[in-house]
């Protein structure tokens, strides 16, 4: 099955002030405007989502949020619900490892499952992040852990909705460290642990439809090696998405496609 590549920029807690976000976007916009045939998603901080919804509207790029609460409204001080994002975003990053285990958020599998269902119910596309930590990796627990994360996240989600989701396989030890997973390892985990778990939960069709990105120290230099892997459909990029290099990274993805030049 030919899946359309998807590249997402996760700006995390950077460029959250209007002027700095705009200044950076002006640098990358001309290059990104020329990118065709792949889905491009910019996920800036919540404070500039409104501004970017307007900036991206005339382009082929889509807007994504970095998190969403599952309740539509209520006594949840400081939270942003999926409902609040509906008029702004097409995508929502969910379950990033920086949110799963950090002091400020402590996201559980149950919370991530609730969020996934809420984002889908509002017609947006989740970019569900999962991946093992270094200890689990060294102990040979990657496959069991990652497939468990898939099962927990998709609990109660029907096949038609599951097929529309994007998953980002991000080994925690590779995020922001400059030490990416090997393309072969990423390919194996995505094929066996992620698509394998989806095939068991649903069927092979769903497993083949879901687009799976690799994330963790992706750069313009190494993305080509990931994209030639049959299971890898794109990347979720942190550090390199904050640099003009991001345009080059997008070009490398286009080049890696069968029709790319």
Please give the positions annotated as active site.
96, 170
Residue from 166, 238, 251, 254 that binds ligand PGA (CB under 6 A)? 238
**69 close to 79: Cβ distance less than 8 angstroms:** yes
- What phi and psi values does residue 53 have, to the nearest 5 degrees? -60, -40
Residue 134 has which token pair?
């270094």
> Which residue's CB is nearer to ligand PGA, number 90 or number 170?
170
Residue from 215, 227, 233, 250 that binds ligand PGA (CB under 6 A)? 215
CB-based burial label for 49 (10 Å; 0-12, 13-18, 19+): buried
Radius of gyration, CA atoms only, the chain: 17
Q: Is 175 in the site for ligand PGA (CB under 6 A)?
A: yes
Q: Is 10 in the site for ligand PGA (CB under 6 A)?
A: yes
Q: Is 43 in the site for ligand PGA (CB under 6 A)?
A: no
Q: Is 176 in the site for ligand PGA (CB under 6 A)?
A: yes
Residue showing the smallest CB distance to ligand PGA in the complex: 238
Residue 212: which of 149, 128, 99, 92 has the closest Cα?
Answer: 128
Q: Is 252 in the site for ligand PGA (CB under 6 A)?
A: no
Which of 54-62, 203-211, 220-228, 238-246 is the region at the interface with ligand PGA (rule: CB under 6 A)? 238-246
Residue from 49, 236, 250, 254 that binds ligand PGA (CB under 6 A)? 236
Whole-angstrom Cα distance, residue 14 to residue 47?
11
Residue 251 has which token pair?
């070009």
Binding footprint of ligand PGA on the chain (CB under 6 A): 10, 170, 175-176, 215-218, 236-240
């Amino acid at each position: 099955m030919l899946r359309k590549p998807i590249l997402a920029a996760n700006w995390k807690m950077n460029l959250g002030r209007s002027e700095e976000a705009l200044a950076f976007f002006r640098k990358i916009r001309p290059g990104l405007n020329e990118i065709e045939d792949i889905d491009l998603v910019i996920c800036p901080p919540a404070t500039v989502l409104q501004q970017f919804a307007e900036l991206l509207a005339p382009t082929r790029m889509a807007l994504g949020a970095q998190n969403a609460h599952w309740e539509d409204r209520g006594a949840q001080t400081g939270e942003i619900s999926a409902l609040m994002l509906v008029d702004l975003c097409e995508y929502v990053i969910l379950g990033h490892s920086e949110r799963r285990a950090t002091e400020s958020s402590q996201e559980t599998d149950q919370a991530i499952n609730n969020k996934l269902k809420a984002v889908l119910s509002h017609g947006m596309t989740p970019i569900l992040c999962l991946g093992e930590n270094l200890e689990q990796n060294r102990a040979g627990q990657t496959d069991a852990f990652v497939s468990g994360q898939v099962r927990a996240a998709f609990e109660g989600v029907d096949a038609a909705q599951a097929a529309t989701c994007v998953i980002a396989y991000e080994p925690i030890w590779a995020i922001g460290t400059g030490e990416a997973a090997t393309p072969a390892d990423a390919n194996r985990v995505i094929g066996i642990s992620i698509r394998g778990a989806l095939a068991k939960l649903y069927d092979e069709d769903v497993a083949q439809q879901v687009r799976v990105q690799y994330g963790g120290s992706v750069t313009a230099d190494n993305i080509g090696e990931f994209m030639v892997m049959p299971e890898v459909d794109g990347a979720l990029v942190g550090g390199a998405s904050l640099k003009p290099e991001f345009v080059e990274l997008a070009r490398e993805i286009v080049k890696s496609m069968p029709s790319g030049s």
